[in-house]
Structures are given as structure tokens and as C-alpha cells.
Structure 1
Amino acid sequence: MAIKMMVCCASGAGSSLLMKMTTQKAIDNLGISVSELHHCAISEAKSASLNYDVVLCARNFEHLFEDAKKKGVKVIGLKNVMSQKEIEAKLKRAGIA
């Protein structure tokens, strides 16, 4: 079954787009079936997170998704949002790959 993923940064412009491209490489490398990979600003992500299976964000934003976590959304906080290696490791650790 394909999952829906969202990546977010503070403004939803440059960083989240680069994060999306890095995440795409990671999911391709791991063979994860993803039906949607969306990038956006943290303000949109907070309200839209319940529509996704997985949310990736910088660690300092992870606490903003406590409600989503309670409803089963896997929220993954990253130290380096541009690190394919870290994204792959954390997806594996979360049981997604």
C-alpha cells in the first residue's frame, strides 16, 4: 500500500523543496511506495498533518505535531533535513522501510 508523506520547513519555499528532493531519493533507494510527497510551510503542515501517514520536519518543529502523533501519524524529526542518509535511517527506524 502506498503512503502519503509530507515534508515541511519554516517558510515552505527553498528548504522544504530541497528536503522533498532528498526524501524522494531516500524513498526510491529504500523501495517505499509513496502515492504523494508534498512539501509546505510549517503553518500548513500543522493543519494538514492528519491527511498524511508520515511527516518529516526539522527536530525543532517536531513538538508541533503532538496531536497528529496521537492519531497515528509518524512524525520524524531530522537533525539535518538535507541528509539522505539520516532520512533513510529514520524511515527504517520508524518501520516505514
Structure 2
Amino acid sequence: MRVVVACGNGMGTSQIMKMKAKKVFKKLDIAIDIDHMSIGQAKTAAKDYDVVICSEALTSNFNITNNKTKLIGLKNLLSEAEMEEKIKETLDI
């Protein structure tokens, strides 16, 4: 499964989100290939990923028209518990 995490600039916050997402997906026993980038980059690249994770406030930047890509918006970008809950909900686990 290909996953991308995105923040405003694609620097610090998305790197931390990437580490947390790796832990959560590992806990859920889901193998992933994960990248991090800015919202601008992710907006263009989203179609190439199965899951896009970003802030709830930034989800409106995405216009995902395929049935393959799932968009997850988080209120607290650093909460593993929220991330796990939303991943389970979005992927029907």
C-alpha cells in the first residue's frame, strides 16, 4: 500500500507524521511504502497513492476523483490514537 503524509511545507510536521504513520500501520499489520511532502506536491501526486493523510483543514485542497485513493484528515496531526482510528475507519479494518 502506498501512503503519503502531507503538511503545509512538507518539512518537519510531515516527517513526524510519517514516523507515527509507520508505527500505526505496523501495529495494524499493513505493509506500506510511505512518503512525506508538502500539500502542493501531494495535491498533484495523490492519484499515485492509496492513502493521503493530512490536516483536516487541508483536505479541501484535494479533488480526488479515482476510487483508489483514500483521504484522511486529522485534527491532531501528532496523535497516533486519532491516526489509528481514522485509518481503521477509512480502510474498514
**TM-score bracket, shorter-length normalisation:** over 0.9
Cα distance between partner residues in 1 of 2:56 and 2:26: 23
Partner of 2:5: 7
Partner of 2:57: 60
Q: Offset of 1:21 from its aligned partner?
A: 0.4
Cα distance between partner residues in 1 of 2:83 and 2:58: 16
Q: Quick one: structure 1 residues 22 and 96, their matched pair in 2 at CA, closer, same or farther if it must change by over 3 Å?
A: farther
**Matched letter for residue 62 of structure 1:** T
The Cα offsets for residues 6-59 of structure 1, whole Å up to 9 and x where unpaired, read as: 00000000000000001111011111121x100001110010000000000000
Unaligned runs of 5+ in 1: none
- Residue from 75, 84, 93 that aligns with 1:79: 75
Cα distance between partner residues in 2 of 1:96 and 1:18: 25
Runs of 4 or more above 2 Å deviation: none
Unaligned runs of 5+ in 2: none
Q: Quick one: structure 1 residues 4 and 96, their matched pair in 2 at CA, closer, same or farther if it must change by over 3 Å?
A: farther
Aligned-residue CA RMSD (Å): 1.0
- TM-score relative to the length of structure 2: 0.94
Instruction: Give the % identical residues.
Output: 36
Aligned residues: 92
